[in-house]
């Protein structure tokens, strides 16, 4: 299988960690849309949002998604990329979409252990502990709708990779 694999999910679900490991296992290229967008813009997501607003950031996010999509790539997407119906359809039609799902408590624990507040603006203006549950409640159904497969990312990184490998084998068999 050489179609791109898109990893979607909330902040802290492990898209970057999983994506790098999966790409290495397949000898594919790894791309993180947020990192690519920040490199291109020469500023953080927080600075982009301050300068251009969320609409401007989301437009850049879509352009970045289109730019990085290619065969033999694992693509870690920003948590809100699925808010655009166009992005959801684009990913489903151009690759395999895997939702890395984790309970809000796990996401909060990870985000508090590795805070990146300067790069990641708050979405609601609330503390991480309050924000994560609210945002996940809204986005979880959208992530599920967009995904070809849902993987429990609260387990060990090895378990996540094993579940994705199993999904890839199922997709190849069908």
What CATH architecture does domain 5-173 belong to? 3-Layer(aba) Sandwich (3.40)
Element at 36 (helix H, strand E): helix 33-41
User: Strands, E, within 1-158: which ranges?
Assistant: 5-8, 29-32, 73-76, 96-101, 149-152
Name residues of the chain where pLDDT drops below 70.
1, 115-125
Question: What is the side-by-side strand order in the sheet with 96-101?
Answer: 29-32, 73-76, 5-8, 96-101, 149-152
Residue set of the binding site for ATP? 12-17, 120
Residue set of the binding site for Mg(2+)? 16
8 Å CB contact between 149 and 96: yes
Residue set of the binding site for substrate? 34, 58, 79, 139
Residue set of the binding site? 12-17, 34, 58, 79, 120, 139
* pTM for the model: 0.91
* pLDDT for position 130: 79
pLDDT tens digits, 38-81: 999 999 888 898 999 999 999 999 999 999 999 899 999 999 99
CA distance 153 to 16: 12
């Amino acid at each position: 299988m050489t179609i791109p694999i898109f990893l979607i999910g909330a902040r802290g679900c492990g898209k970057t960690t999983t994506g790098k490991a999966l790409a290495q296992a397949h000898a594919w290229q790894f791309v993180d849309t947020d990192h690519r967008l920040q490199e291109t813009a020469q500023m953080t997501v927080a600075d982009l949002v301050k300068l251009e607003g969320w609409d401007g950031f989301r437009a850049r996010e879509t352009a970045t998604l289109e730019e990085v999509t290619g065969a033999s790539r694992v693509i870690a997407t920003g948590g809100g990329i699925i808010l655009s119906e166009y992005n959801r359809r684009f990913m489903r039609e151009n690759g395999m979409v895997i939702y890395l799902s984790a309970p809000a408590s796990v996401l909060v624990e990870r985000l508090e252990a590795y805070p990146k507040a300067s790069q990641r603006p708050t979405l609601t203006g609330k503390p991480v502990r309050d924000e994560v549950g609210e945002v996940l409640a809204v986005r979880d159904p959208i992530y599920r709708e967009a995904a070809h497969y849902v993987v429990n990312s609260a387990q060990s990184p090895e378990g996540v990779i094993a579940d994705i490998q199993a999904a890839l084998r199922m997709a190849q068999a069908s």
